[in-house]
Amino acid sequence: MRISGLSNSSILGNLAKNKRKLIPIPNGTIPDPKGQDLDFVNVAYSHLIHSDWEKLEKLSSGFTPFRFKHVLLKMKKDYVLSYELYKWVQLKNPTFHNLETHSMILHVLTKHRKFKSSQLIMKDILNSSSVDLPFKLFEAILYSYRLCDSCPAVFDALFKTHAHMKKFRNATATFCQMKDYGFLPTIESCNAFMSSLHSLNREDIVLTFYGEIRRCRISPNTYTMNMVIYAHCKMGNMDKAIEVFQDMASMCLFPTVASHNILISAYCNKGLLTSAIKLKALMEKNGLKPDSVTYNTLINGFCKQKKMHDANKVFSEMKGVNVSPNTVTYNSLINGYSQLGNSEKGYELYEEMINIGVKADLLTYNALILGFCKEGKTKKAALAVKELDKQNFVPNSSTFAALILGQCTRKNSERAFELYRSMIRSGCHPNSNTYEILISSFCHNQDFDGAIQVLREMLGRNITPASTILSELCNGLCEKGNENLAVKLRNEVEARSRG
C-alpha cells in the first residue's frame, strides 16, 4: 500500500538516513533598496506604522515583491501589521506573492507563535498540484531564515502542516531535511504525524517513527506513548504493548485513563475479559477513575461473548459510581440481547434510554429491529422502522439485512426478496450472510428457482456462497430430480472461486 505517493519502504528508508554531519544554515540575502525603491519602501513603511491605509492605497500599484520584502523586514517585529499588509497585498493582487514573500511572513508569524495563521498560509501554498513545491517551500524558508532572524518553530509548523494534510511523503522529507540542518520538531508535531498515520491504519510506520523520535532524543509525552501502545495492540502484539505500558514510569510518564482504556479494549477484542477486568481494578488501585469509555468497552466485550449477566454487572456498577450511560452503552446491551433473541429485554433498555434523555441513533434501531426479526416479530420490527423514519434516520445495509432475516424466519421468502430488491435500489450492499439467508429460505420453501436467482445475483457481485449453503441448494435440487442442474451450479461456483 502507498500513502501520499510514498511506499512504506521509502518512508522507512528516508527515516533511516541522515547520519551525516549537520549542514550549515545558509545566509540568504536580498539587495538593498536604492533610488525609487528606497523612497517607496520608506514612504510605505511610514503610512503603515501610522495605519494610514488611505494613503497606502495610492501606492498599491507600485508594490513589487522586492519592495514588499523590504517593507516587511522593516516592520517584522509588528506581526499584526505585517500580517495585515500581507493580506492587503494579496487582496489587491491574488497572484502577487511568491515563495520568498510567503516564507518571510511565515517567519514573522511563527516567531510570534501565531501558528494557526502560519499553517493556513502553508496549506494554501501546498494545495498547489506542483510536485516539487514542498521542497521549494522548505528551501525558501531556509534561505530567508537568518534574514528574518527566525526561529526553529517555522520548520516545526511546516512539518505539522504536512502531517495534518496527511501528506506523509512531504512530512517525512521535511523531518529529514530539518535533521540535516539541526532542527527537530516538537513532540506535539510528532504526535500529529503519528495520529495521521493511525487514521490510515499505518501502525507499522507509527512504530518506526517512534523509534526515530527516541534516536533523535525528542522526549515523548503520554499521548505519544498511548499511540505506541495502540499501534502494538492493533498489530496484535499485546506483550509489547504491555511492556511499553509498564515502561512509562521509567520515563517519568504515568499511564492515564486513556492508556488503560487502550489495553482494556485490546483485551476485550481478544476475548480476554478476565485480564480486562483485572486491568480496570489496577487502574482504580492507582487512583484513576474509569470513565464511560472504560465501562462501555467492558460491556461491549461481555455482550459480544453473550455474557449478558456480566455485562449487566458492569452496567450496574457504571450507574452506581455516577458514570452516565450513553448511546454506546445502550446500543451494546440492546444488540447483545437481540443477538440472544431476547427482544423484550432489548426494548426495555430502549425505553429506559429514551426516558432518561439518552438519544437513540441508527445503530439503536437496527439492534431493536434485529431482535424483533430474529424472533419473527415482523410487525414490531415494522413499527421500529417507522420510528427510525420519524427520527430522519436512513435505513442502511444492516437495517435491510435484519428485515430480510425477519421475513425469512417467517418463511416468507417472496417478501424477503422484495426487501432485497428495495435494499439494492436504496444503494445498500448485501453481504454474504444476507444472500445465504435468502437462499436457505427459498430452499426451505422448496422454491429452487428463487434460490438459484439469488445465487446468480450473489455470484454477479463476486460473492462466493459458503459450502453449506451451496450443498443445501444442490441437495434440494437432487431430491427434485435436477441432478444435472445441481452439478452445473456447483461447477460454476467452483470455477468462480478458483478464478
Q: Long-range contacts of range 136-143, CB-CB < 8 Å, 24 or more positions apart?
A: 136/99, 137/99, 137/102, 137/103, 138/173, 138/174, 138/177, 140/99, 140/100, 140/102, 140/103, 141/103, 141/106, 141/107, 142/25, 142/26, 142/28, 142/181, 143/26, 143/28, 143/103
Q: How many CB atoms lie within 10 A of CB 478?
A: 14
Quick one: pLDDT band at residue 13, thresholds 50, 70, 90? low
- Mean pLDDT for the chain overall: 91
Mean pLDDT across the stretch 403-429?
A: 91
269: amino acid identity, one letter: N
For residues 388 and 313, what is the distance between their CA atoms, to the nearest angstrom?
Answer: 30
pLDDT digits (tens, 9 = 90+) for 317-370: 999 999 999 999 999 999 999 999 899 999 999 999 999 999 999 999 999 999
Domain 326-430: CATH superfamily, name plus number: Tetratricopeptide repeat domain (1.25.40.10)
Task: Convert the pLDDT of each residue in 29-57 to its tens digit.
Answer: 899 999 999 999 999 999 999 999 999 99
pLDDT exceeds 80 at position 16: no
Q: For position 492, what pLDDT does the model report?
A: 85
Give yes or no for residue 132 having a pLDDT over 60. yes
Mean pLDDT of 136-157: 94
Percent of the chain with pLDDT over 90: 77
Q: Give 5's pLDDT tier (boundaries 50, 70, 90).
A: very low
pLDDT for res 15 = 60
Angle between helices 133-143 and 115-126 (to 10 degrees): 140
Cβ proximity of 193 and 209 under 8 Å: yes
Nearest to 482 by CA among 473, 470, 491: 473
Q: How confident is the model at residue 6 (pLDDT cuts 50, 70, 90)?
A: very low
How confident is the model at residue 9, as a pLDDT? 52
Which has more pLDDT, 493 or 140? 140
Please report the pLDDT score of residue 206 as a whole number: 95
pLDDT digits 0-9 by tens, 201-246: 999 999 999 999 999 999 999 999 999 999 999 999 999 999 999 9
> What ranges do the domains of the chain cover?
326-430, 432-499
Between residues 212 and 3, the one the model is more confident about? 212
Asked if residue 98 lies in contact with residue 127, where contact means CB atoms within 8 angstroms, the answer is no
Question: How far is the CA of 107 from the CAs of 114, 208, 263, 421, in angstroms?
Answer: 10, 31, 42, 60
- What confidence score (pLDDT) does residue 482 get? 87
In angstroms, how far is the first alpha carbon of the chain from the final one?
Answer: 23
Give the pLDDT band of residue 481 (cuts 50, 70, 90): confident
Mean pLDDT of the region 407-435: 91
For cell 501565531, name the residue: 114
Residue 17 has pLDDT above 60, yes or no: no
Is pLDDT of 2 > 80? no
Residue with cell 549537520: 22
The pTM of this model reads 0.84
Query: Residue 348: phi, psi to the nearest 5?
Result: -60, -45
